[in-house]
Amino acid sequence: EAGVTQSPRYAVLQEGQAVSFWCDPISGHDTLYWYQQPRDQGPQLLVYFRDEAVIDNSQLPSDRFSAVRPKGTNSTLKIQSAKQGDTATYLCASSFQTNTGQLYFGEGSKLTVL
């Protein structure tokens, strides 16, 4: 069974540039999460979806961040006008709908904003 796939693995930007991260969850997992993990910190939830619907996006840092999951499968997280403070690893995770706490994480997309 394929795991959660994320791309790109690495991105280096100048401040003000935009970047998109893509996530392909495990087949059959209807819930998808995006976490932000700054260096040497724990993951912090940004947004999560049930199928194509946003359940909670209240933790997205600002209107520079957006996330979609149009067909309830793959998802894209976009950062417009990146800032140095956005430097972090962006983790995608998926799970089946129950609240078991078992999330399956991808390897992450490491963003550096210069």
> Is residue 112 part of the contact set for another protein (CB under 8 A)?
no
| Candidate ranges 15-23, 60-68, 75-83, 88-96; the one touching another protein (CB under 8 A) | 88-96
Q: Positive or negative, the Cα torsion across 80, 95, 9, 52?
A: negative
**From 5, 26, 50, 73, residue interacting with another protein (rule: CB under 8 A):** 50
**From 67, 108, 111, 113, residue interacting with another protein (rule: CB under 8 A):** 108
> Is residue 106 part of the contact set for another protein (CB under 8 A)?
yes
> Is residue 105 part of the contact set for another protein (CB under 8 A)?
yes
Beta strands in the chain (DSSP E): 5-7, 10-13, 19-24, 31-37, 44-50, 53-56, 65-68, 75-79, 88-95, 104-105, 109-113
* Mask for 53-72, x = binds another protein (CB under 8 A): --xx----------------
Tokens of 95: 């799970």
**From 21, 34, 48, 65, residue interacting with another protein (rule: CB under 8 A):** 48
Question: Nearest CA to 75 among 84, 88, 65, 87?
Answer: 65
Q: Is the peptide bond before 8 cis (omega within 30 degrees of 0)?
A: yes
Chain residues that interact with another protein, rule: CB under 8 A: 4, 31, 33, 40-45, 48, 50, 55-56, 91, 93, 95, 97-108
